Amino acid sequence: MHTSVQRLNTLVTFAAVLLAVLCGVASFFDGFNTHSVHGTVEVVKIRKFRKQLNGNEEVTMNLNISLDMQSTFTWNTKQISIWDHIIPDKEHAKFQTQVPSKYPLTDQGSNLKGKKIDLVLHWHIMPKSGKMIQDKLPLSHFYLPEAYL
């Protein structure tokens, strides 16, 4: 005969295995979800373009960002990470803002004058279960000035 503790152990083990299998199946099928992210980024102003004391060039700028990431939210999406910002839910996944660049664009040398710079948005989708999904979207480009500001 089985004791109550043995029956409870069997029940808890079965429930844990069933939950693990369901999470695995859900994560597998979540990988087939296609995302349709739309966005634009434009450089509003180049705030600083200078040569550092060590000879490297540095650029800081203001960006106008319009982004719609609502299609990336599924039942399995916990949050989305962009830059140092976390989008917690679908209601906050569509926005338009003007922000200063938090990190300067730095080149080791003097190769940025007049160069074409491509702006690409990278994000990470953190699911409730399964592996983290990384993706990117090329948005726009601009040319740096020929002289320091």
Find all residues with CB under 8 Å of 9, minimum gap 6, and list them: none
Instruction: Write the pLDDT tens digit of every residue in 3-42.
Output: 999 999 999 999 999 998 988 887 788 777 777 888 999 9
Task: Let me know how long the chain is.
Answer: 149
Q: What is the pLDDT of residue 89?
A: 92
**Residue 66 pLDDT more than 90?**
yes
Instruction: Write the pLDDT tens digit of every residue in 102-122.
Output: 889 888 877 888 899 999 989
